Amino acid sequence: MNFSEIFKQSNQLCRISPDGRYLATCVQYRLVVRDVNSLQILHLYTCLDQIVHMEWSSDSLFILCAMYKRGLVQVWSLEQPDWHCKIDEGSIGLVSSRWSPDGRHILNTTEFHLRVTVWSLCTKAVSYIKYPKACQKGIDFSRDGSYMALAERRDCKDYVSVFVCEDWHLLRHFETETQDLAGLEWSPNGCVLAVWDSCLEYKVLLYSLDGRLLSSFSAYEWSLGIKSLAWSPSSQFLAIGSFDEKVRILNHITWKKITEFEHPATICSPKTVVYKEVEKRPALSIQDLSSHSVSSGCPLLAVQSKYEISQPPFQIPVVKPDLDRANPKVGVSSLAFSADGRYLATKNDNMASVVWVWNMQKMSLEAVLEQTAAVRCFQWDPRRPRLALCTGTPRLYLWSPAGSVSVQVPSEGGFQVHALSWHSNGDSLVLIGKEHLCLCYMDTEDKSTDSNIWTK
Amino acid sequence: MPESALEHQNTAGSAVVYRMSPLGHFSQSEAPSLSGHRSPFVLTSFCTEDNVLECRSYINQEVSSLGLRAVWTPTDGPAELNVVAVLNSLYELIQLHRQGLRALDDMEVERQRSASNTELLQLSNTRLKGQLELSKRENTSLLEKERQLQLKVKNLQSCLKNEKEEVQRLQNIIASRASQYNHDMKRKEREFGKLKERLNQLLVDKKEKKQAMEVLNYVERADGKRSMWKTGRTEARHEGEVYRTLLSDYDARQRELVLENSEQRKVLQQMKRDMVSLLRGSKPARREETPGDPQTQGDSEDSEEVFESSCVDAREKLTNSIRLKWRKLKSHMERLDSQASLVQAGEGAEPDAVPLETHGQEMERLKLEIQQCKDFIHSQQQLLQQRLTSPCEEEEAAAIPPGSPMQGEGGRPGERGRLGEDWRALEEQRTHFEKERKTFTEAAIRLSHERMMFEEDRATWLKHQFLHWTPFTDQNQPEMTEGEQEAASVFSPECLPGSPSPETSSSPRCQALQTQSTADPYRSLPPSPESSHSPTQPITINGCIGELPIGSSGGTATVRTQLTS
């Protein structure tokens, strides 16, 4: 495992291009494009204001930089560095900006979600979509990029509009039976649209591509409902994480619950492997502790850690949330299926430092990873069943069915990993800190050394 | 007067009897009459002219014992009665009697009173008992009611607790919902406020910046196509695309399901076949199965035929037949179980049922047998090993007791030196045996030749004898004596010279055995024409076992057995 040097970034805007060749980062108002392998700066663009949002187009030819305060979107081209494009939303304001799947249209959402403007880079045509809903996830594109589902709200009723991305033709427009639609997501095969209600009501509605209601699922009434939702890559399962600390799996044939995954505070099953992160503080004498070394975060003081396998029964530290406040820190907030659909990683907010890995073939708990700090981000490798997670410490944690490993990110300035993102070929990771970023290259040739460090 | 006295005797009969007892003969004579129960109205005389004096003295005694004045005192004449005294005593007696009667009446009254009292008490007792019973029953019923009520109370309390918990939970839910609503409300209000500000700003702000896009030049579409006008055809195309996507998805799913279905059906049919074979195999004599089986066989064939069309009927038939078979199998298993339990209980087992107990015992027994056999084989192997490593000990042992040559004294594994010596001796013996074998074979060949010659000679001699047969054959008799010992055995003399030599041709090891066995051939020779060919058979001596001519098979057998025991 190799680590690159630390680079500066701002707003955690670091994206690898979809074709995997470039890494784009934003530093204040500059956009830096590097080559992924050599990390050489290939292009440098300057925007008019601090970049708040940055996105690659699907063909990796253009980059969109949005500056919400100024209401500006600037588009840069990689092929032609001289080419420029600027979209000024004017007094109508800008709240969000994104690419369309064909990489030639930009969808800007105005302030107060008044409308969505579809700007085209190919023609002078501009389209407007009225009454978009301001919710957790109001727009979703199907995986093949042919359709867009948009949540709308008018007259205190929720609607879903399905557009054909080719020419923004409104395909279907139907009302949904939700109280307050919180989000929608296409299934990976593009045939089913899952629509879920806000947390005040547990309801998932499943619509077919042509707008027919296939099924509705509601696990319970009154208590706080759905917190997160994820489709399995084969579209076979729909995992719903809710505030009652459970994940319910629905099957795509009957849309009924086939199993429930609980997150109890005590794990007794002997088949589950529990990895507990254990910190090893280095022993230092007083002479070593000079004020300089302490302030600069000398690597000597870096706390090493490793995984230890704990024996059942295993107690998980639970933090009781304050239920009087809105959006309490309880329930399953993150769900992610591995690329082959065999594993599901979940995180329960009461037990923020624990990641649960479920085996979807056996429908049982495969592994539990307990960290010393709250888990901030986890993501599956796009190619193989390998999970990378970070907890805001200068360490990267990897889990695979072979075992798990804790890797220290070599840095001098105390680089804390706040977020991470995999390269599309699964061979490298972008580790994003508060103000810095680092690339981690996985060893693909020498697997044996890797296996030595795995804790199994 | 005695009669009047006797009138009252029946009322106090028993008391009078006891008083009369001291006077033996009187009591006995008076007893039947004075019993009172039997003859109350017969008055017998107590005093007659003969026994006046005795009566008088008796009366005196009695009266004095009662504490009254004496009837007669000796001062009065001997044969006279003091009338005054008598009358007085009589009067006193009457008084006493009256008193007694009064007392009796009183007691009678008393008794009746007490009887009525007891009756009253009894009545009240029964009444009270009844009341007690009643009250006890009431008590138990009340206790029962109380218990039930307590149960109810407990239930109600638990219900109350549940309800309270439910209420608490609902209150929590309401609280969280309320906080969520409030939060959303505040958020919306903030947004509303921003909107209002914006609106104000826009109204105030004269210059309105319009939306605009500046671009250096328009770029091509990613797929290189030109954008198209929105016409009905494009719309239709889009619709078509949608349905095509959906249909292809359904097709794929259908194919998967059909595959799964066929696999499941195969599994079910396999299961059915297995179940049928199981049921058939365990119950060969069951009649009621056979009508069912051809039917189900027919079903399975039907279902296989319509497999492709997979109509509902065939599916149902298959599942029904599976269910039927499964039920039969279950009942069969239950029957077996019950039989096994019956056998355990000591009752007779059915012949075709295999009770678990005896099965287990059989297993144990077989295991034991196997273990024993294994041990035996092991010990045999050990002995064989020992035999091979120490033949000299056996030889020595064979030399001393002819009957028990193989006691296994030789070849103690610990004594290596001795073992080496034994090996060397064995080698010597082996070479010696080889040599002897060679000589013996030569001798045997010679012997066979000699025998042939002898045969010829004998034949010619016999011929000569028959041709020159005379009653006077004395000179031949000594030659025939030994042969005549055998019963009609013509060939025995030939064995005489023949048998010792093969026997001596055996290994010297068998020397001691020869003493025992040499006699045998003489006795146990069966007259067989084949023995004429026996001299021609090569005598091969393999190591320790000597193949002797058939003529001396008995001896061979004995020798062999002794060699190999």
Instruction: Give B176-241 as a DSSP string.
Output: HHHHHHHHHHHHHHHHHHHHHHHHHHHHH----PPPEEEESSPPPPTT-PPP----HHHHHHHHHH
- β-pair partners for A355: A347, A369
Q: Is the domain of A24 the same as that of A119?
A: yes
Task: Reduce the DSSP state of residue B102 to 3 states and report it.
Answer: helix
- The yes-or-no verdict on residue A70 having pLDDT over 70 is yes
Q: Could you say which of A128, A151, A175 is where a domain stops? A: A128
Task: Reduce the DSSP state of residue B140 to 3 states and report it.
Answer: helix
Cα gap A43→B528, rounded to integer Å: 121
Average pLDDT over residues B76-90: 76
CA angle A454, A356, A258 (to 5 degrees): 130
CB contact under 8 A, B219 and A77: yes
Average pLDDT over residues B346-352: 52
- The yes-or-no verdict on residue B358 having pLDDT over 80 is no
Q: Which chain A residue is nearest to residue B249, measuring alpha carbons?
A: A191
Say if CB A129 and CB A116 are below 8 A apart: yes
Cα gap B387→B413, rounded to integer Å: 11
- CA nearest A193: which of B194, B527, B242, B545? B242
Q: Is the domain of A153 the same as that of A199?
A: yes
- CA nearest A278: which of A304, A314, A316, A317? A304
Q: Is the domain of A271 the same as that of A147?
A: no
- CATH number, position A27: 2.130.10.10
- CA nearest B519: which of B490, B543, B485, B545? B485
| pLDDT tens per residue, range A30-66 | 999 999 988 899 999 999 999 999 999 999 999 999 9
Cis-peptide into B402, omega within 30 deg: no
Cα gap B228→B209, rounded to integer Å: 31
CB contact under 8 A, B214 and A92: no
Task: Reduce the DSSP state of residue B122 to 3 states and report it.
Answer: helix
- Is residue A249 assigned to a domain? no
Q: How far is CA A23 from the centre of its chain?
A: 18
Q: Is the domain of A121 the same as that of A139?
A: no
Q: What is the dihedral of CA A127, A130, A134, A138, to 10 degrees?
A: -60
Sheet containing strand A213-217, edge to edge, reads A181-186, A192-197, A204-208, A213-217
From the DSSP assignment, how many helices (H) and strands (E) are in chain A?
Answer: 2, 41
CB contact under 8 A, A146 and B243: no
What is the pLDDT at residue B205?
Answer: 79
Chain B: nearest CA to A110, how far in angstroms? 11
Say if CB A248 and CB A237 are below 8 A apart: no
Q: Is the domain of A28 the same as that of A160?
A: no
Q: With pLDDT > 90 as the criterion, what percentage of chain A qualifies?
A: 62
Residues of A in contact with B238 (CB under 8 A): 164, 166, 169, 171
- Is residue A255 assigned to a domain? no
What's the Cα-to-Cα distance from A207 to each of A186, A193, A217, B235, rounded to whole Å? 9, 5, 12, 21
Residues of B in contact with A126 (CB under 8 A): 213
- A79, A163, A193, A222: best to mutate for the B interface, most B CBs within 10 A: A222
- The yes-or-no verdict on residue B66 having pLDDT over 80 is yes
- With a CB cutoff of 8 Å and minimum separation 6, the contacts of B419 are B389, B390, B411, B413
| pLDDT tens per residue, range A253-281 | 899 999 999 999 988 888 888 888 888 77
Q: Is the domain of A192 the same as that of A340?
A: no
What's the Cα-to-Cα distance from B461 to each of B326, B454, B467, B508, rounded to whole Å? 93, 10, 10, 37
Total length of chain B: 565
- CA nearest A127: which of A115, A139, A138? A115
CB contact under 8 A, B227 and A121: no
- Is residue A226 assigned to a domain? no
Tell me B421's DSSP state.
Answer: H
- Structural domain total, chain A: 3
Q: How far is CA A353 from the centre of its chain?
A: 17
What is the pLDDT at residue B511?
Answer: 42
Cα gap A50→A66, rounded to integer Å: 9
Q: Which chain B residue is nearest to residue A91, measuring alpha carbons?
A: B209
Residue with more model confidence, A300 or A343: A343
- Is residue A291 assigned to a domain? no
**Phi, psi of A82, deg, nearest 5:** -80, -20
CB contact under 8 A, B246 and A328: no
Q: Which of A75, A87, A190 is nearest residue B245 as measured by Cβ atoms? A: A190
Q: Encoding tokens for residue A105?
A: 């249209």
Q: Which chain B residue is nearest to residue A326, measuring alpha carbons?
A: B180
What is the pLDDT at residue B532?
Answer: 42
Average pLDDT over residues A360-378: 92
- Is residue A237 assigned to a domain? no
Residue with more model confidence, B325 or B487: B325
User: How many CB atoms lie under 10 A from the CB of residue A335?
Assistant: 20
CB contact under 8 A, A199 and B219: no
What is chain A's Cα-based Rg?
23
Q: Is the domain of A123 the same as that of A138?
A: no
- The yes-or-no verdict on residue A359 having pLDDT over 90 is yes
Residues of A in contact with B168 (CB under 8 A): none
Q: Is the domain of A157 the same as that of A195?
A: yes
CB contact under 8 A, A84 and B228: no
Task: Count interface pairs A-B at CB distance under 8 A.
Answer: 124
Give me chain A's average pLDDT, please. 88
Say if CB B300 and CB B321 are below 8 A apart: yes
Cα gap A446→A423, rounded to integer Å: 19
Q: Encoding tokens for residue A7?
A: 């680079």
Cα gap A49→A46, rounded to integer Å: 9
CB contact under 8 A, A85 and B210: no
**Phi, psi of B512, deg, nearest 5:** -60, -35
What is the pLDDT at residue B123?
Answer: 96
Confidence tier at B491 by pLDDT (50, 70, 90): very low
Chain B: nearest CA to A325, how far in angstroms? 6
Q: Which chain B residue is nearest to residue A191, measuring alpha carbons?
A: B246
Q: Which chain A residue is nearest to residue B223, measuring alpha carbons?
A: A102
Average pLDDT over residues B37-42: 52
Work out the burial of residue A421: count CB atoms within 10 Å of its CB; fewer than 13 is exposed, 13-18 middle, 19 or more buried. Answer: middle
Confidence tier at B291 by pLDDT (50, 70, 90): very low
DSSP element (H, E) containing B255: helix B232-282
Confidence tier at B395 by pLDDT (50, 70, 90): low
Q: Encoding tokens for residue B337?
A: 């179980």
Q: Is the domain of A189 the same as that of A212?
A: yes
- Is residue A80 assigned to a domain? yes
Q: Which of B182, B219, B249 is nearest residue A189 as measured by Cβ atoms? A: B249
- Is residue A7 assigned to a domain? no
Confidence tier at B43 by pLDDT (50, 70, 90): low
Q: Is the domain of A341 the same as that of A418?
A: yes
- Work out whether the CA dihedral B527, B529, B534, B536 comes out positive or negative: positive
| pLDDT tens per residue, range B522-545 | 444 444 444 444 444 444 434 444
Cα gap B492→B526, rounded to integer Å: 9
Q: Could you say which of A178, A199, A218 is where a domain stops? A: A218
Cα gap B432→B416, rounded to integer Å: 24
Average pLDDT over residues B317-338: 84
Chain B: nearest CA to A86, how far in angstroms? 5
Residues of A in contact with B235 (CB under 8 A): 169
Task: Reduce the DSSP state of residue A414 to 3 states and report it.
Answer: coil
Average pLDDT over residues A295-315: 70
What is the pLDDT at residue A44?
Answer: 94
Q: Is the domain of A199 the same as that of A346?
A: no
Domain residues for A97?
15-128
Q: Could you say which of A187, A218, A249 is where a domain stops? A: A218
**Phi, psi of A253, deg, nearest 5:** -95, -45
| pLDDT tens per residue, range B512-528 | 444 444 444 444 444 44
What's the Cα-to-Cα distance from B324 to each of A429, B197, B301, B319, B346, rounded to whole Å? 60, 78, 17, 9, 33
- CA nearest B325: which of B287, B285, B268, B284? B268
Task: Reduce the DSSP state of residue A52 to 3 states and report it.
Answer: coil
When mean pLDDT is compared across A325-329, A358-362, A435-439, the lowest value belongs to: A325-329
Q: Encoding tokens for residue B178?
A: 């309320």
CB contact under 8 A, B215 and A84: yes
- Is residue A339 assigned to a domain? yes
- Work out whether the CA dihedral B20, B22, B23, B27 comes out positive or negative: positive
Confidence tier at B17 by pLDDT (50, 70, 90): very low
Say if CB A404 and CB A418 are below 8 A apart: no
Q: Encoding tokens for residue A422?
A: 């995999």
| pLDDT tens per residue, range A144-195 | 999 999 999 988 999 999 999 988 889 999 999 999 999 999 999 999 999 9
- The yes-or-no verdict on residue A203 having pLDDT over 90 is yes
Q: How far is CA B245 from the centre of its chain?
A: 68
Q: Is the domain of A168 the same as that of A317?
A: no
0.90 exceeded by the pTM?
no
DSSP string, A238-291: EEEEETTSEEEEEETTT--EEEEEE--SEE--TTSEEEEEEEEPPP--TTT--H
- β-pair partners for A178: none
Task: Reduce the DSSP state of residue B471 to 3 states and report it.
Answer: coil
- CA nearest A68: which of A85, A50, A45, A86? A50
| pLDDT tens per residue, range B145-201 | 999 999 999 999 999 999 999 999 889 888 888 999 999 999 999 989 988 988 888
What's the Cα-to-Cα distance from A322 to each of A117, A330, B181, B558, rounded to whole Å? 40, 9, 16, 105
- CA nearest A327: which of B179, B187, B171? B179
